[in-house]
Amino acid sequence: MSLYHEAAGILQSVRKEQASVKSLVFSKKGWKSDPKTLFALSTEAAKWSEVLSEALEKSGVLGVEKQLTPELALVLTHDLFLSKKGIALPASHGLYMSVSKHKVRLSAELTKARLRRGCASLDQLRAKIDELSSNVSADGEGNGAAVAKYPRWVRINTIKTSLQSQLDTTFAEYLRSDTVRETLSGGNQKRLHIDEHVPNLVAISPNIDLTTTKAYKSGHIILQDKASCFPAYLLNPGPSEGDVIDACAAPGNKTTHLAAILAENDNQNAQVIACEKNDLRSQTLTKMTRLAGGEKSITVKAKQDFMRLDPSAKEFRNVTALLLDPSCSGSGIVGRDGGGLTVHLPNSTPTDNGKASSSSSRGKKRKRYASAQQQHQPPTPTAPATVVEEQEEQPLEDEASTSSTLQTRLTNLSTFQLRLLQHAMAFLSARRISYSTCSVHFLENEHVVLRALRSRVARERGWRILRREEQVDGMRRWGRRGWKGECEKFLRDEEEEEVGDGEGGMGGGLAGKMAEEVAEGCI
């Protein structure tokens, strides 16, 4: 049983930490499973994850077997159909039965997935998948045969170190690149580009694994995508400003970034108040805070729902800024194994008829390249009044599917996001809020902010969009902006099919807002 739980954990860490399967398995001791077996299962499950996710999602297994996580279902289904020895558990074991009793349905969906890819047999499909994975060698590291699409972004944790110190030590052997694109085309060379927008952020060649380095293990460097650095940098709390609330803080990258900016600005009095309602994610947040050295400036409110905070409470009278990065569709996130493997996950949210979505799952961290009209056309849904709870990020329908399920889910998410933003606006001393998502959809980004700005609390407190000329220098120079008109003041980071100008990052949207003592007309 430990093999499958440990393999599921590896796949989860691949997405969260952007580390390779190899480094995650072999840099850690104390596995209950044989490391070589664990590595083989995790790697093969990642290679097959797109096909297996389709079969799992269309079969509706996750909607029935509540004890199965998407990652756990993925590795079990892999061994059920693709391992010579089958699932390495007794037939009477609960995990074995949770998948095997759906074997007929899963087999049918796997056959359909195979035929959709033009393969007459499982062997042909296996050869095709192996060919697609041919740029990743057996140890999980890229072989340099193809140019990767995304760099690896690394934030220098200035709570513990400095950019120059890391250039002199961790990155001493790296060749300096003038653009992000140059870090992608260097083959097996170690290349580094210092970002021109976000301070203390560097892009390095994508196939380099930093998780085994002393700097990573000691919290001196943090693997954090460029777009993920925008919210804290846009807030940029100065030396005389008060506390900052991170409303949905786990795993903690943005939280520790805020703490680092406070330290850089010599603000020794302010605290970052980090809220996380989920117990397990609260533990991750606490661990990340300690690793980054932020214990003195970060107050972790474990198992704390931000929506239950009282904005008028004395405890929060000194809060002048809030960072909101709520649960969203995740449609703009690109996930990749450090060695080049992409982990796709099935949708665990059933549709209205009780079955899993009929569309193929591209994975939680796989970007959707929907048409510009689909992404930016302002929808006019009627949100159900009863749907206000926070929802987990899940994969969405692809372009070929009907839009009703997607529209319903986006509507539900935007309803929660709107309530979260309005709640943040009610904090009495708040002057700035950064609202960000990792979604490409207008409904979760500009639409939420524009609705919030029309609310009573926004009008009474004078909330408006932060003008471009008021934004911190790097964000003022950022070229991609929001959807039309007033939304030009919004920031967007949507990756094109190619890297283009080499700015890099991940898809998503972000807006900065500030409150004036007197309401202004450009709300």
User: Which residues share a beta bridge with 258?
Assistant: none
User: Other C-beta atoms within 10 Å of 94: how many?
Assistant: 11
Is 507 annotated among the ligand-binding residues? no
Task: Give yes or no for a contact between 188 and 206, defined as CB atoms under 8 angstroms apart.
Answer: no
Is 276 annotated among the ligand-binding residues? yes
The number of residues making up the chain comes to 523
Exposure class string for 248-259: b at 16+ Cβ within 10 A, else e = bbbebbbbbbbb
Is 108 annotated among the ligand-binding residues? no
Q: Which residue out of 229, 438, 487, 522 is catalytically annotated?
A: 438
Distance between terminal CA atoms of the chain?
Answer: 56
Task: Give yes or no for a contact between 180 and 201, defined as CB atoms under 8 angstroms apart.
Answer: no
Please indicate whether residue 119 is annotated as part of the active site.
Answer: no
SS (H, E, C) 197-248: CCCCEEEECCCCCCCCCHHHHCCCEEECCHHHHHHHHHHCCCCCCCEEEECC
User: Other C-beta atoms within 10 Å of 60: how many?
Assistant: 20
H-helix or E-strand containing 193?
Answer: strand 191-194
Q: Which amino acid is at 83?
A: S
- Would you give the DSSP letter of residue 88? S
Residue among 454, 500, 401 nearest 57 (CA): 401
CA distances from 118 to 112, 303, 332, 337 (A): 10, 48, 28, 26
Residue among 398, 431, 160, 197 nearest 297 (CA): 160
Is 522 annotated among the ligand-binding residues? no
- Would you give the DSSP letter of residue 315? G
The two tokens of residue 241 are: 């400003």
- d(CA 133, CA 126) in angstroms, rounded, equals 11
The two tokens of residue 274 are: 């980090």
- d(CA 23, CA 335) in angstroms, rounded, equals 17
Is 254 annotated among the ligand-binding residues? yes
Is 251 annotated among the ligand-binding residues? yes
Is 63 annotated among the ligand-binding residues? no
* DSSP states along 266-293: T--S--EEEEE--HHHHHHHHHHHHHHT
- Would you give the DSSP letter of residue 298? E
- d(CA 126, CA 136) in angstroms, rounded, equals 15
Phi/psi zone of residue 464: left (φ > 0), alpha (ψ -120 to 50 degrees), beta? beta
Task: Give yes or no for a contact between 426 and 311, defined as CB atoms under 8 angstroms apart.
Answer: yes
Q: φ, ψ for residue 98 (rounded to 5)?
A: -65, -25
Is 325 annotated among the ligand-binding residues? yes
Q: Which residue has the tokens 């599917």?
A: 401
Q: Which residue has the tokens 């889910």?
A: 409
List, as residue ranges, the binding site.
Answer: 248-254, 276, 305, 325
Q: Could you list the residues known to form a binding site for S-adenosyl-L-methionine, using ranges.
A: 248-254, 276, 305, 325
Catalytic amino acids? Answer: 438
